[in-house]
């Protein structure tokens, strides 16, 4: 049944469907099951802190650290840690793989799950070649 402006039930449902499709594509509008002004923990951004250290506990800044999703999709550019061996990434909830590559150390792939809070992972690097 249409109102005087030509907006019938079918049109409103169609617009709602488009909003749901846009939300699932990553738009910042309402997502299915959300309320205006609501806080959605599922889409929150959390900090992943990666601490690289040598076997003697000293920082290991001579590496390249990257993060990819479990589906092998890169989650940003690779980062080089500071002199403290620490690097951080901002990630949504999900399963990831931290990849550490170095010419002086054996390369490492470490699975990490971000689930509603910030996460720190310490990786001890072994001397050797990639």
> What DSSP string describes the chain?
---TTS--HHHHHHHHHHHHHHHHTT-SSPPTT--TT---GGG-EEEEEEEEE-TTS-B--SSEEEEEETTS-B-S--B---TTSEEEEEEESEEEEEEEE-SSB--EEEEEEE-SS-EEEEEEPPBS--
CA-based end-to-end distance of the chain: 68
| Structural domain spans, the chain | 1-38, 41-124
Q: Which pLDDT score is estimated for 42?
A: 55
Superfamily of domain 41-124: Immunoglobulins (2.60.40.10)
Query: Is the pTM higher than 0.75?
Result: no
Per-residue pLDDT of the chain (130 residues; tens, 9 = 90+): 444 444 443 333 333 333 333 333 333 333 333 333 444 455 699 999 999 999 999 999 889 999 999 888 888 888 999 999 999 999 999 999 999 999 989 999 999 999 999 999 999 999 886 5
């Amino acid at each position: 049944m249409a109102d005087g402006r030509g907006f019938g039930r079918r049109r409103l449902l169609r617009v709602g469907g488009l909003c749901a499709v846009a939300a699932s594509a990553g738009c910042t509008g309402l997502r299915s099951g959300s309320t205006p002004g609501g806080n959605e923990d599922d889409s929150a951004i959390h900090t992943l802190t990666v601490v690289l250290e040598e076997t003697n506990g000293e920082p290991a800044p001579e590496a390249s650290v990257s993060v990819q999703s479990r589906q092998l999709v890169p989650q940003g550019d690779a980062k080089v840690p500071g002199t403290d061996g620490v690097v951080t990434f901002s990630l949504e909830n999900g399963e990831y793989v931290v990849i550490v590559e170095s010419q002086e150390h054996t390369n490492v792939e470490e699975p990490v799950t971000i689930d509603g809070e910030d996460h720190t992972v310490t990786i001890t690097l072994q001397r050797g070649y990639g």
